[in-house]
Structure 1
């Protein structure tokens, strides 16, 4: 007879398993990812991601991982405290994303399917965790506030996108298609990192998995030229200018606020929003000031002399760690 989820023995076992998972990070190759566990609470981890390459470099991003009692049957909740414009991140200022919504539906979902502000969607990388996933009826979803500052309408280029995990880059596809029992936290962290430093991963995201449809459309517009080059087809002769002309002629009398996000002009939006987010993440108040709040991981603003001293201390610890 299986133990109930609230059984003290089962809770203790899961706490120990999380401690084992955390210990496994010591041997993981997660360049730029630093993780610590909350003292006395193994189900809550704090992490910092140093984006060292790719479209979001050189941002410094803080996030937390909260593990539900039924993990790994259910996915962990990943929440970013750094505000960044990203297709898989809900904005910190809104609470609009639901995993079961589409353009033709009213927004309704159970609480466990809803992402909080700053929530990171794992649906794209690990679809097996989301049994209610289904394609949306249209190519875009509207979100609260997503049209602010949007200029005249234009169709987002009709570019090919990945509909399943098999179209992820090779080094991630095996992780994404494995059963939930074999999804390690190392794999989750590696996937999160890849969504910030690998253009191919961002290109493979479908609108159904996007937590921020505005960022999704902005990224697609930013990558339009590269994706058209990679997936050019003689059977699709329509150009961006033709699509724009058709949009203006057939919808000229429609107000911009009534247009779907895919019909807005996203040119330059992604570059500007990400540039501001990266700059903000590197500012002194965010890195060293009170903006970090009660975060377990804190940074110290030191000079070269202090850095050299810390480096010597770390180097002295390496031989000791090898002996343990």
Structure 2
């Protein structure tokens, strides 16, 4: 989509066919909407650049007539036929160019929000990087990725498959935590005051204040707000990817972690009433698409000694006596 057509659209001077084409282009991709939003902001800001003329038009016309009167023939002034629509577009282009320069030098970075509410979404960022947002997750990214590949993770669980660009590192900010990559894939979870980074491919640098760790494939780090120490560990399961794979893969998984994942996935309140079973392990694979009761039934069959009760919206797990 050309800039001229977009500016005509802003000026409400597009034909019906052009308007339909612009709307179709906007609906095709998030990056297109981001580009138009940025152009719209710049156009709005550019209005402040236009100044009113201080020229006295009547006085200028009098001076012009006086100069022409000294000649032998009367000056003939003919009106010039103008295409005012395209003149306005040309003027807008000049204003946009000026505003664009001011934005780049003085203006703060503009961010575009991506929000997943009640379903998982997959989107592409302007540099081609792919992000998968779990339910109830939110990120924002710098609208202009040409100069700065910067993302903010506000909350939730997000998988990043980053496009390789050695000259422009990809940076994710989570409060005081910073994750820096060039081109790799990894999962970042930020919930309840904890941030977890798990690497699938490539190398990821995670920093918190003056501390920094380098993670490779199969490694993870967990940062707690109450204890901001960076401790690198081997990742031992694939549960973090359930919202992408659609499966809960439990392999030697302690019951307390099973409960943690189910609470997050189904937005429920399951508690282990009997501490003696918290570390008992589970080996099975369940479909995320199943109803919670169905999956709890499978878990009960597998563990055999498990008792499940419901009371006032709470699900309690205990050991059969």
TM-score by length of 1: 0.23
- Pick the structure with greater CA Rg: 2
Highest relative contact order (Cα 8 Å, sep 6+), 1 or 2? 1
TM-score by length of 2: 0.23
Higher helix share: 1
Higher strand share: 2
